[in-house]
Structure 1
Amino acid sequence: MPAIQMALSRNYPNPKLLRNLMCYLHRSKSSLRLWEEDVNTEIKLKIEKHWSNVVLNQPSNNFKKKTHYILPMFPYPSGNLHMGHVRVYSISDTLARFQQLNGKNCIHPIGWDAFGLPAENAAIERNIPPHTWTETNINSMKTQLQQLGFNFNWEREISTCDPSYYKWTQFIFLKLFEKGLAYQSKEQVNWDPVDKTVLADEQVDDLGCSWRSGAKVEKKYLTQWFIKTTKFAKDLFDGLDSEELENWKDIINLQKHWIGECDGVSVTFKLSVNNQVKTFDVWTSEPYKFIHGNFLTMSPRHPLIHELKCHMSNSLTCHNPVTNRDLPIYITDDAIYPIGKDVSIACSIFDTDDNNTAVSLNIPVSNEQYEINVDGENQKAINIAINKNVGGHFVSSKLKDWLISRQRYWGTPIPIVHCEKCGVVPVPYEELPVQLPKSDSHKSGIQTLDKIDEWVNCKCPKCQSNARRETDTMDTFVDSSWYYYRFLDPANQEMPFSVENVRNQMPVDIYIGGKEHAVLHLYYARFMSYFFNSLGWTPKKEPFKKLVVQGMVMGQSYKLKTSGKYVPPEQVEKVGNEYKEISTGELVLTQWEKMSKSKYNGENPERLLSTYGCDTTRLLILADVPPATPRRWSDATLPGVLNWQHRLWMTIREFLKHRNNNVAHSITSEEFNKYERKIWESRNYFIATTTYHYKYTQKLSVGISRLQSLTSVLRNKIPPEVVAKSKEFERALSDLIIMLAPVTPHFCSELWAGFLLAPNRICDSQNIIDWSKTVLEQKWPKVDDDFELSFLCKVDGADRCELKIKARDLSNLSHEKALQIMLNEDSVKKRLKTDIHRTKFELYPDCRAILHIFPKKKQKVAQVDEGVA
């Protein structure tokens, strides 16, 4: 840290105040004045060093502005950034800077998903404690993120392995426990014999092997902790149809497929054996059976049967809480079970299949006959279950509750005490956090909490007798299921967050991350937000408004055709249209795959930073393809980006040259005005289209291509006199630099500073631009009121009419007025063969408008085939 910043930090301990003061001090930085030299990597690195404090200390906490929450998924601290990190944080930083230029108070936080198996295994391999390994990696990755110029709100930084964070994860667990949503149950689980822990189904591949160790997974019956996410399944399913969700696209289908059609109801039954009371859930798509059912069937594979060691021929009796009557359970595989279930409630009086099951198993049934109102009895059963708090919630048969137990050391301790007298006892809130004990026994192999007697042995919070702490830790998905709320209130010492501090800042405006997290993590995060809403902690259920799904960064790999062995690219040569291994001449196959060290197709961001600089790296990762598309990484794309930066540098150089020299009159005023008009039209068009893709589609690559096009306009044989005297050229060039600044903040800061060296800036006198501020503090350019924007009409999905409407009129266009205008157009009227079924109007102020018209479908007339005589 520079000496001045260290001195300031002593007098200004408030990080927000210090940040703003530092920005003020650095705002007056001037150009490096290297314009006579051709831009190269050395100059770019000088620029980045020169402007780094301005770029990293851009003020963002003006609470008079409207809040805009940009959230990238926080990283696991592995020690080094990979290209996937570079991509996701380049996207989020660009969008955050764009929103700030649009006058928003942008929240752009970062933290660390720091618990979990990979960190613990890595620490064991190195004979160091997991917390030491994790802290070292966090420091390393934080430095790399800052080298890339990402303007995160570091004052909001959190780490899930910090007791000040997981205290509140434990607090939330206790709230779930209070509401009956966290419970312990014996279940058949996936056991990794190498990593010695339970794995979720999705952590096991199609071959039945562990995602981490590669070991063949074993099936075991273990008592585990679960969170009853199924209770919110119907709400979570229906919530996916909310109009508040923007740009979720196929993620909605992925989420719905995971949750499943919530076409049945679950109720918790009780069973007493040998003075033990056990509970189990019964699901049926016909809730009336909870009232009129006369027996249950249960598979011998049911965990309860395994636990009680019941023989298949034995029958059990359970208590039905809906009717307060006992029902017999028959243990058999010869019954029809719902998908994903191994218990079923039967009603032999009204269900033919159930009656057939009873006959085949010699189950005595009543011959009593009576009629019921099925719909009425279904609702009655549901109401009874809900009122008695024993279930009644709609859920699919295949969806399981969330198994959160992990039998490893490096995770959030579950705040539960087991007492022989009192049973399962929650740790009192005032005793949180239950901290992980420090231990060096990891050096001898895998560490588990049950081996640390001084930590496990404790007193029961209720009766003060000897007891034992829960030794399972929580799955890291629990830590990451609510972090986006803590970012908004990281200093709160009374609650995980306060209602007041999140009320006007949620939902997250844009959530950015990989598609691989679009099912589980997103499901758990949505569940937790719905749970908070049920407690009255949050004003809305859905936590994320818009998703930007990031495609993987792919590298080209090479492997031998005969053995499939991967070989490094430097050992491969191209011979004609084929690739061959240099040493053997053996044929090599090439393909694009997810980057991996084992496939020799990775890219080290450090190489790019030292070779090209961070702005070029950011520009490279964002150009060419939109965020959702997989990015094929290759140095072959570098020339285009490097050439564009060179052209921008040359444009500023020539602008300064012509503004500083007396340029002779070489064109007529009429020709001058034609250039002015052309530049005016181009500037407005590219502002509109760039804004549209930055703000609405988040297709940053398309927005960048529009800026490249504007650059070409400004360099396409523009006479020196126009460069020297044109207001439109000056304004287009300044707007171009402003719009590129979110992507390449250091480079554009230098371009802007160079721009300020020019005398007689025409825009000065018109108050169009505040030249006293840095480029990162300017206002995002807007189209002129008189510029005509696109108003498109689609009929049944096909483009039918495009009109041009002045920007001032477009912004005030209503749905009703838009429909009226288009219905008067012949191209639309000709397409409408039937009445209108519905319409949809999309207005993007200062960009464009789209009217969708969906006609009613024609009724097909049935044709009678009279046959042939």
Structure 2
Amino acid sequence: MRQTIIFSPKLISKIVADNVYKCTLIRHASTGLQLWEQDINIEIKHKIENYWKDKVNRISNNDSSKEKFYVLSMFPYPSGALHMGHVRVYSISDSIARFSRMKGKYVIHPIGWDAFGLPAENAAIEKDIDPAEWTKQNIENMREQLNTLGCSFDWDRELSTCDPKYYKWTQELFLKLFDRGLIYQKEAFVNWDPVDQTVLADEQVDSNNRSWRSGAKVEKKLLNQWFIKTTKFAKPLLDGLTNPMLRNWRDIIKLQQHWIGDCNGTNFEFKVLSNVPGYPKTLSLWTDKPERIEQTKFVAISTRSILNQIEDSECVGTEKRLSATILNPFTGEELPIFSTNKIKFTRFRDNHLGIPCESENDASFCNSMGIHFEAAKELSPEEREQKISKILNTAKQLNIGGYPVSFKLRDWLISRQRYWGTPIPIIHCENCGVQPVPRKDLPVELPKMSNTIRKSSSLAEVTDWVKTQCPKCGKSAKREVDTMDTFVDSSWYFMRYIDSNNDKEIFAKDKANQMLPVDLYIGGKEHAVLHLYYARFMNHFLHSEGLLPTSEPFKQLLVQGMVMGMSHRTNDSGKYLKADEVEKVGEVYVEKSTGNPVTSSWEKMSKSKYNGVDPSEMFENYGTDTTRLLILADVAPTSHRNWSTATFPGILGWQHRLWITVRQFLKCRNELTNQIIAKPPSKKFIEENAYMFDSRNFYVKGVTFNIVDSQQLSVGISKMQGLTNSIRKASSECIAKSREFERALAAQIIMLAPLAPHFASELWAGFCSAPHRLANDGDIQWDKDVLEQSWPEVDMDYKLNVTVYINNGEISKIKIPRKTLDNISAEELASLVTNHETVAPRIRKRIISEITVHVEEGCDGSCYIKTMKNVENNLKQGYSVKVQSC
């Protein structure tokens, strides 16, 4: 609810003296189109956007010596055309970037392209074109569309993951991990996509055992693959989610915690002993009893395990005993392997370490199989911790695990058997084994796609490229023919942005210390698990290497909701219908050709569902800025946006009101004369002038809070519309003579500028072209365009609400000027509040356990909360004040 300001006669005199009688003529550099006599329409909007497009995309007010603000939007896959999801995320990031510049910060707002991967390769093969050329064309198209959208990106930081200048450093990152023993190659049963002909990580297979991309039923294959040992960082990654630096992660913390799991056990790599072909050389086994690992007597595998398919094994009673055995690295003992369903397997695991001294189920199984075991000595807590520490240290020395990890987390499988990806910088030599490519030879560049590659999609077919020399012995050797998962490319791109043109190192450490971590990361929830997990891992690793200032990469998250379109499906076949194939009859939709009711629902926009909207058509029919406002209005950025033309009139009407407001302002100021200026102000003028002062401060305060703190851009737009309504109430006298009207209208246009930069620039040009302005108070830079203005602040004389709570119950609201609150100490505030006439009588009559003073958001959007705790029984005995500020 709006608060009411009561002005004293002294303040009224000051307003009149300062704001009415001082008036000067102005001139402004950017005059705009000056079409104020015409009503705003789509033709004028296009003229405005064409006139201002180059100006608004230039970045100003970006001094690197100021406080930095790194706003990052997830970089797109270059499909060649923007969709409405892109429009939403980049409208959000651009608005916040522009706002932050106007707040006087040094803003980093980069853009790039997640350009490797199957979609580009498959499309290029289908179109008989090199994926590099296809990707380049798509990037050029989307770059132009982003410029049309009015995005003020740091284009000098632009990168593309398929550019050798970028993936050279992805390969360098691989080698850093390799040098630290965090990358390894092993034979393992992996998920094979028979359609896309490549390996998939466990995370890329859905609950129905189908590929995340092709939808094919996934097969199991034993392949030699590359893994990153992410499990070594499982506990730090889990603990990092409680880092007080993190803001607005909300349910993303739970998603990350769920993915990582409780790190209450340990993984060990056990060697498999077998003469039968087809067995993996090692088996990863998890246990939450590492202190008893030496008492392990058998290994059980589920009947669902792929190991069951390797051989016809001996049956022992009702159980199946495999010919292979497991070597316990801590005792040297060979352990039998049984296929059984009588063992309680841990969730997400199809194998089990049998430790009968710790499990009745394991003991019973040993007895049934005739396996001898002895009862173990009970360990004290101290002995247990010592034993665990010894076992884990031994495992680390043997490089077979030994790190805290959950039962469900696996190492990251990064090998892909496709052409279009970052080549793995490894050379295989028959004499020297696996050798890293020397750093002086980076990047290992992809060969140009040939007809041979088109047929097989594999680097293994490019024999001239595969052949090389061993960097150690100089003899003939072969390159690694697998490429990296694209998640590797996207796990560190935000780091490269800070130094994207550096050809000497991955990034300069001093720039990392200056610009990282990312202050605000904006992207879809679909990437809130895997991508975020991998990015956090890379950041933790490079922080442990001393290259990054913090372990966590992102301070604040804004997870935007999807843009949803209305889809229609027939009830019998489920076939999707186009919008022109249905009509609304009453409250339901029916198929035009049959008259049968259809199922209508809001779903994520998709071409196959015929519920998508082409951004290019939106730009053409409504204008870029209108599209930006439409995508930002009505619902919070974190909520799904149901796209409906029913919401359009509100924004279109608001733009019309703003247009005629500036027209009226120009008319009144053009008619202003010295005779009118000298005329004494009427009572109505004084009231309106005060109302404009109140309205400006109230809405500046609210809009700022909604952008900075609550991330509710839609609410900020609603409050801007509220300010427009207040401004529209002003009389001609107020418009012509009131400094506070002038300041309110200026604040209105300035606050609109980050969201609708072209339209606001034209409004500002008109505003500043008026022949008269009132006394320059320093917060309007008349000779600069709107995007060069400073964000408006709450006036020092404006009174903020101070709510007083005693023992968690509200007892009073006090209004205190901002200048008092900005300069008062916590103790002084406590004294002021407790001695106030509305508070003092209430606290004398009760025992005080806590007094809380809540000061509403101020000029910078921050929320001051000062808590005073009474350490005595009551006020008569005296009490001291302890203050906590958020």
**Residue in structure 1 matched with residue 46 of structure 2 by the alignment:** 45
Letter in 1 for 2:144: T
After the TM superposition, which residues 182-581 of structure 1 pair with which residues of structure 2 at under 5 Å, given as runs?
182-271=183-272, 278-298=281-301, 313-314=321-322, 318-321=326-329, 323=330, 325-333=332-340, 334-366=342-374, 373-386=383-396, 389-441=399-451, 445-581=455-591
Aligned equivalents of 1:245, 1:263: Cα separation in 2: 24
Contact 1:41/1:612 (8 A) holds in 2: yes
- Equivalence for 2:23: none
**Any idea what SS the aligned residue of 2:242 has?**
coil
Matched residue, 1:109? 110
Map of 1:867 onto structure 2: none
Q: Which amino acid aligns with 1:430?
A: K
Letter in 2 for 1:611: N
| 1:827 positional shift | 12
8 A Cα contact 2:818 2:858, kept in partner: no
> What percentage of residue pairs aligned between the two structures are identical?
49
Aligned positions, number: 827
Contact 1:811 1:845 in 2 (8 A): no
Preserved CA contact (<8 Å) 2:321 2:336? no
Q: CA deviation at 1:221?
A: 2.7
Q: Relative to structure 1, is the Cα distance of residues 134 and 326 closer, same or farther in structure 2, using a 3 angstrom cutoff? A: same
Letter in 2 for 1:363: I
Alpha-carbon RMSD: 3.2
Q: Secondary structure at the match of 2:567?
A: strand
Query: Which stretch shifts more, 298-307 or 769-778?
Result: 298-307
Deviation (angstroms), 1:327: 4.7
Gaps of 5+ in 1: 1-26, 857-869
1:840–1:649 distance in 2 versus 1, CA, 3 Å: closer
2:790 to 779, 782, 793: 779
| Cα deviation code 1:510-559 (max 9, x no counterpart) | 00000111111101100110011111111110000000011000111122
Q: Kindly indicate whether the alpha-carbon contact (under 8 Å) linking 1:232 and 1:527 is maintained by their aligned counterparts in 2.
A: yes
Of the structure 1 ranges 616-625 and 368-377, higher mean CA displacement relative to structure 2 is found in 368-377
When residues 819 and 403 of structure 1 are mapped into structure 2, their CA distance, relative to the original with a 3 A threshold, is: farther
Structure 1: distance between partners of 2:55 and 2:121: 38
What SS is found at the alignment partner of 1:468? strand
Alpha carbons 2:187, 2:280 under 8 Å: kept: no
Q: How many Å separate the matches in 2 of 1:468 and 1:559?
A: 54
Determine the C-alpha separation between the residues in 2 that align with 1:794 and 1:309.
Answer: 76
User: Following TM superposition, by how much is the alpha carbon of 1:236 offset from its aligned partner in structure 2, in angstroms?
Assistant: 0.6
Pairing of 1:600-615 with structure 2 (within 5 A)? 600-615=610-625
| Structure 2 counterpart of 1:805 | 816
User: C-alpha separation between the residues in 2 aligned to 1:633 and 1:68?
Assistant: 31
Paired residue secondary structure (1:288) = helix
CA shift for structure 1 position 773: 1.3
- Would you say 1:682 and 2:690 are equivalent positions? no
Q: Secondary structure of the residue that 1:494 maps to in structure 2?
A: coil
Q: 2:737 aligns with which of 711, 718, 725?
A: 725
Give me the whole-angstrom Cα distance separating, in 1, the residues matched to 2:842 and 2:547: 49
Alpha-carbon distance, 1:847 to partner: 4.0
User: Can you give the 5+ residue segments of structure 2 that lack an aligned partner in the other structure?
Assistant: 1-27, 315-319, 871-886
User: CA shift at 1:390, angstroms?
Assistant: 4.1
Shift of 1:96: 0.2
- Asked whether the equivalents of residues 124 and 446 of structure 1 are also in contact (C-alpha less than 8 Å), the reply is no
Contact 2:701/2:859, CA 8 A, preserved across alignment = no
Structure 2: how far apart are the matches of 1:329 and 1:550? 52
Question: How far did 1:421 drift?
Answer: 2.3
- Please, which of 596, 605, 612 is the counterpart of residue 606 of structure 2? 596
Give 1:187 shift.
2.5
- Distance, in Å, in 2 between the alignment partners of 1:712 and 1:580 is 41
1:52 shift after superposition: 1.3
Q: Which amino acid aligns with 2:339?
A: T
Which whole-Å CA distance do the structure 1 matches of 2:260 and 2:44 have between them? 54
Equivalent residue number for residue 749 of structure 2: 737
Deviation, 1:580, is: 1.8
Return the alpha-carbon distance in structure 2 between the equivalents of residues 464 and 391 of structure 1: 33
Q: Relative contact order (C-alpha < 8 Å, sep 6+): which is higher?
A: 2
1:752 — aligned with what? 764
On the 8 A contact 1:74/1:112 being kept in 2, the answer is yes
Q: Which residue of structure 2 lines up, in the alignment, with residue 859 of structure 1?
A: none
Alignment of 1:658-669 (within 5 A): 658-662=668-672, 669=682
1:849 maps to 2:856: no
Residue of structure 1 equivalent to 2:594: 584
Letter of the 2:734 partner, please give it.
V
Q: Is the Cα contact below 8 Å between 1:316 and 1:328 reproduced in 2?
A: no
Letter in 2 for 1:558: H
Q: Tell me how far apart the structure 2 counterparts of residues 770 and 733 of structure 1 sit (CA, whole Å).
A: 14
Q: 1:85 to 1:398 in 2, by over 3 A?
A: same
Counterparts of 1:1-16 in structure 2 under 5 Å?
A: none
Q: Which amino acid aligns with 2:285?
A: V
1:571-625 Cα shifts (integer Å, max 9, x gaps): 2222222322222222222211111111111101111111121111111111111
Asked if 1 retains the 8 angstrom alpha-carbon contact of 2:806 and 2:848, the reply is no
Note if 1:698 corresponds to 2:711. yes
Q: Residue 640 of structure 1 corresponds to which residue in structure 2?
A: 650
Alpha-carbon distance in structure 1 between the residues aligned to 2:272 and 2:209: 33
- The one-letter code sitting in structure 2 at the alignment partner of 1:623 is A
Is 1:715 equivalent to 2:723 in the alignment? no
Once the two structures are TM-superposed, the CA of residue 566 in structure 1 deviates from its matched residue by 1.3
Q: Out of 830-839 and 307-316, give the one that drifted further.
A: 830-839
Distance in 2 separating the partners of 1:854 and 1:127: 72
Which one-letter code corresponds to 2:712 in the other structure? K
The answer to whether the Cα contact below 8 Å between 2:53 and 2:758 also exists between their aligned partners in 1 is: yes
CA distance in 2, matches of 1:237, 1:158: 31
Instruction: Tell me how far apart the structure 2 counterparts of residues 510 and 828 of structure 1 sit (CA, whole Å).
Output: 44
Is the partner of 1:749 in helix, strand or coil? helix
Structure 2 residue aligned with 1:13? none
2:20 corresponds to:
none
Closer/same/farther in 2, CA of residues 595 and 790 from structure 1, 3 Å limit: same
In the alignment, residue 849 of structure 1 is paired with which amino acid?
C
Q: Is this contact kept in 1: 2:249–2:557, CA < 8 A?
A: yes
**For residues 773-796 of structure 1, what are the alpha-carbon distances to aligned partners after superposition, in whole Å with 9 as ceiling and x for unaligned?**
111011100001121223456899
SS at match of 2:427: strand
Alignment-derived partner of residue 146 in structure 2:
145
For the residues of structure 2 that align with 1:354 and 1:178, how far apart are their CA atoms?
A: 40
Residues 211 and 274 of structure 1, relative CA distance in 2, 3 Å threshold? closer
Rounded to whole Å, the distance in 1 between the matches of 2:581 and 2:868 is 58
Partners of 2:185 and 2:569 in 1: CA distance:
48
Q: Comparing 755-764 with 169-178, which one deviates more in the overlay?
A: 755-764
User: Cα distance, 1:313 vs. partner?
Assistant: 2.7
Structure 1 residue 93, shift from structure 2 partner:
0.3
For 1:801 and 1:306, how far apart are their aligned partners in 2?
75
CA contact (8 A) 1:166 1:479 kept: yes
Cα offset, 1:272, TM superposition: 5.4
Q: What displacement does 1:291 show?
A: 4.7
**Helix, strand or coil at the partner of 2:706:** helix
Partner AA of 2:66 in structure 1: K
Instruction: Give, as a single letter, the amino acid of the residue that structure 1 aligns with 2:764.
Output: W
Shift of 1:833: 10
Alpha carbons of 1:742 and 1:335: their partners in 2 closer, same or farther (altered >3 Å)?
same
Letter paired with 2:816: I
Query: Aligned in 2, Cα 1:596/1:741: closer, same or farther, shift over 3 Å?
Result: same
Give the letter for the 1:328 counterpart: L
3-state DSSP class of the match of 1:183?
strand
